[in-house]
């Protein structure tokens, strides 16, 4: 697929949810996916049981994504048993084989986040085609940070525009209500993913920003 054949609508993933009211707002505004950071370094970190409780109201309504970072089988088993997510997002150093193994072992769809800073990173991301159901392009975390996402750092969209792209992919990294329409126009991303860009403070979403973000691309 090239960047000119994209679906008419853009789906939005609202990520890093920590509060019931924000889940309700995201559902009401038409989010296409809801993301919860489960037991990984983050200001938006949730325990498995907290993520399970928070995600419950969206079950069967909007696909729920457990965002994990290099999760081992014990953690994944607990996430699958308690939260029953629709997707496991692998946001660490997981290899294509590990992503495929997670899908097969747990019977769950997978999202692989690939950190992009140059054209070579897009080549690495290509190795996940076929292993993951969805590839998510995110910015590289700031140097020295052990937190893999949610920094509000943008990707240079020119890197995305000149790369061969999988049929379905998601764009993340520093998206906001003000820049997301431009991001979609430039990259033709079928899915956009946002965490900090719709927040009042880390983990606390702003309902007006969620609404504006989704309205900007739909
Ligand atoms: O949001 C987090 O705190 C987080 C922590 C660990 C891994 C992933 C995380 N979030 C993902 O990062 C992208 C980009 O965030 P932002 O919009 O630039 O703030 C986000 O879409 C989440 O999928």
Smallest CA separation from ligand 1 atom 9, residue? 149
Q: Are 103 and 125 in contact (CB under 8 A)?
A: no
Does residue 5 form part of some domain?
no
Q: Which residues sit with their C-beta closer than 6 Å to ligand 1? A: 15-16, 35, 37, 40, 42-44, 67, 69, 91, 138, 147-153, 172-175, 193-197
* Structure confidence at residue 166 (pLDDT): 87
- Residue 15 is among the residues annotated as catalytic for this protein: yes
pLDDT score at 8? 61
Cβ neighbours around 189 below 10 Å, total: 26
* 138 counts as catalytic: yes
User: What's the pLDDT score for residue 9?
Assistant: 86
Q: Which atom of ligand 1 is nearest to the CA of 16?
A: 1
SS3 of the chain: CCCCCCCCCCEEEECCCCCHHHHHHHHHHCCCEEEEEECCCCCCEECHHHHHHHHHHHCCCCCEEEEECCCCHHHHHHHHHHCCCCEEEECCCCCHHHHHHHHHHHCCEEEEEEEECCHHHHHHHHCCECCECEEEEEECCCCCCCCCCCCCCCCCHHHHHCCCCCCCEEECCCCCCCCHHHHHHHHCCCEEEECHHHEEECCEECHHHHHHHHHHHC
Domain count within the chain? 1
Q: The domain that contains 51 carries what CATH number?
A: 3.20.20.70
3 in a domain, yes or no? no
Instruction: Write out pLDDT tens, residues 77-98.
Output: 999 999 999 999 999 999 999 9
| Any domain includes 139 | yes
Angle, to 10 degrees, between the axis of helix 207-217 and the axis of helix 180-187?
Answer: 30
The answer as to whether 1 is a domain residue is no
C-alpha count within 13 angstroms, C-beta hemisphere, residue 194:
31
The C-alpha atoms of residue 126 and residue 179 are separated, in whole angstroms, by 26
Tell me the C-alpha distance between 12 and 82, whole Å.
Answer: 25
1-31 pLDDT, tens digit per residue, is 333 444 468 999 999 999 999 999 999 999 9
Evaluate if residue 149 carries a pLDDT over 50.
yes
- This complex has an ipTM of 0.97
Q: How far is the CA of 201 from the centre of ligand 1 (A)?
A: 14
The catalytic position among 22, 39, 138, 193 is 138
How far is CA 173 from its chain centroid? 10
Q: Which of 15, 29, 90, 114 is catalytic?
A: 15
- What's the 13 CA to ligand 1 centre distance in angstroms? 11
What separation in Å is there between the alpha carbon of 202 and the centre of ligand 1? 11
Residue 2's pLDDT is: 35
Mutation pick for ligand 1 pocket among 45, 172, 177, 197 (CB with most ligand atoms within 8 Å): 172
* Residue 4 lies inside a defined structural domain of this protein: no
pLDDT digits (tens, 9 = 90+) for 198-216: 999 999 999 999 999 999 9
Mean pLDDT of 172-179: 98
For the CA of 173, the closest atom of ligand 1 is 18
- 75-113 as b/e, with b when 16 or more CB fall inside 10 Å? bbebbbebbebbbbbbbeebebebbbebbeebebbbbbb
Q: Whose CA is nearest to atom 7 of ligand 1?
A: 149
Q: Please give the residue range of the domain that contains residue 203.
A: 11-217
Decide: pTM greater than 0.80.
Answer: yes
Q: What digits encode the pLDDT tens for the residues 41-78? A: 999 999 999 999 999 999 999 999 999 999 999 999 99
């Amino acid at each position: 697929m090239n960047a000119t054949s994209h679906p008419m609508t853009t789906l939005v993933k609202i990520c890093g949810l920590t509060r019931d009211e924000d889940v309700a707002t995201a559902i009401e505004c038409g989010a296409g996916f809801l993301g919860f950071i489960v037991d990984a370094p983050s200001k938006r970190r949730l325990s498995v049981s907290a993520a399970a409780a928070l995600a419950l109201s969206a079950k069967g309504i909007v696909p729920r994504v457990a965002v994990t970072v290099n999760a081992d089988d014990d953690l994944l088993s607990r996430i699958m048993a308690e939260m029953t997510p629709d997707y496991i997002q692998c946001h660490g150093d997981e290899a294509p084989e590990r992503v495929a193994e997670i899908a097969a072992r747990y019977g769950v769809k997978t999202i692989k986040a690939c950190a992009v800073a140059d054209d070579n990173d897009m080549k690495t991301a290509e190795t996940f085609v076929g292993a993951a159901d969805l590839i998510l392009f995110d910015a590289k975390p700031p140097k020295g940070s052990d937190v893999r996402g949610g920094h509000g750092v943008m990707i240079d969209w020119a890197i995305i525009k000149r790369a061969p792209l999988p049929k379905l992919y998601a764009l993340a990294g520093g998206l906001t209500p003000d820049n997301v329409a431009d991001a979609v126009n430039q990259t033709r991303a079928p899915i956009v993913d946002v965490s900090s860009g719709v927040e009042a403070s880390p983990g606390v979403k702003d309902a007006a920003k969620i609404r504006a973000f989704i309205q900007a691309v739909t």
